[in-house]
Amino acid sequence: MVRDGARPGEHKYVAVRAYLADLVTTELAVGDAIPSERSLTEKFGVSRMTVRQAIDALVTEGVLERAQGRGTFVAPPRADFEMRLTTFGEEARRRGLTPGATVLRCEQLPAPAVVAEALDRETGTPVHHVVRLRTADGNPMSVEESWIPVDLAPDLLDDGVPDSLYAALRERDLDPTWGEEVITAADATPEELEALQMQGSRAVMRTARRTFGGDAAVMYSRACYRGDRYSVFVPLREARPTLVPRARPSDGDAGRPVQPSAPPGRIPEGSPR
């Protein structure tokens, strides 16, 4: 149970937020009303603005919905309106499958131009290189190739290839925080057909992903999935016009790191604006 008062040093709205979050996960169901703002005001001995700040945060997260004149309610779980930086293993487990991996290659080499560019490094920078066959319940699902700059995690592969590269990065304070992925469809190469034990169909889905921790690219990876066994679900938000800042006055840089360019390869055609 969450204590009603704020711990010393903890902001009051954080305490209210925590209380509401706990309420939502343990007591309330979708559609239920939370206590009114004024009653929370009394319960916590804070002003209404503070209560609203806590509720605002949860509304922004999509956990709660306000309805003027009626109250504030637990929002229905939205299909999750964002793609997430998940790994093959996490995805498989989430679907009740047992993930597996067979290491096909594991080496350290100078980064090829394409890889170096994706990692924002110089060509030839030493990188770890791992190629794995990924399976779900023992069935081959994809061939996955990853590159990670050696200087970020020199001992990454000292104890063999870790089950999860993301987890290994997190242990080294290189938490993956965001990424970008390009998806294409293509014919499998003979090697891929062989590795994935594909019969009949030849189409595969290829992905190229850049993973970032903070402002730096920490990993570049490509995967090749069986077209007949893999699909991607993408929730789509309304295409609202976005506010675009004025162009740079003359030239000069922006004074901060600039948006990384699109991943190498063909110009993306689908999606964002």
Partner DNA sequence: CAGGAAGAGTGGTCTAGACCTCATGATGTG
Partner DNA sequence: CACATCATGAGGTCTAGACCACTCTTCCTG
- Segment 220 to 239, residues that bind its own copies, using CB under 8 A: 225, 227-239
> According to CB under 8 A, which residues from 79 to 98 bind its own copies?
79-86, 90-91, 94-95
CA-nearest of 127, 178, 120 to 157 is 127
- Per-residue interface string for the shown chain with its own copies, residues 98-137, x marking contact by CB under 8 A: ----------------------------------------
Say whether 241 sits in a helix, a strand or coil: coil
What region does 45 belong to: left with phi over 0, alpha with psi -120 to 50, or beta?
Answer: left
Q: What is the DSSP letter of 27?
A: T
Closer of 6 and 114 to DNA (Cβ): 6
Q: What is the DSSP letter of 260?
A: P
Closer of 14 and 109 to DNA (Cβ): 14
Paired tokens of 36? 């009114």
Burial class (CB in 10 A: 0-12, 13-18, 19+), 90: middle
Q: Measure the CA–CA gap between 240 and 80, rounded to whole angstroms.
A: 18
Under 8 Å between Cβ of 126 and 150 = yes
Q: Measure the CA–CA gap between 161 and 165, rounded to whole angstroms.
A: 8
Among 108-116, 121-129, 189-197, 256-264, the segment contacting its own copies (CB under 8 A): 256-264
For position 26 contacting its own copies by CB under 8 A, the verdict is yes
> According to CB under 8 A, which residues from 146 to 175 bind its own copies?
none
**Among 26, 60, 68, 231, interactor with DNA by CB under 7 A:** 68
For position 72 contacting DNA by CB under 7 A, the verdict is yes
Closest separation in Å from C-beta 109 to its own copies: 26
For position 256 contacting DNA by CB under 7 A, the verdict is no
| 60 touches, from its own copies, DNA, none (C-beta below 5 to 8 Å by class) | its own copies
Q: Measure the CA–CA gap between 122 and 119, rounded to whole angstroms.
A: 9
For position 67 contacting DNA by CB under 7 A, the verdict is yes
Contacts with DNA by CB under 7 A lie at 6, 11-14, 34, 36-39, 45-50, 52-53, 66-72
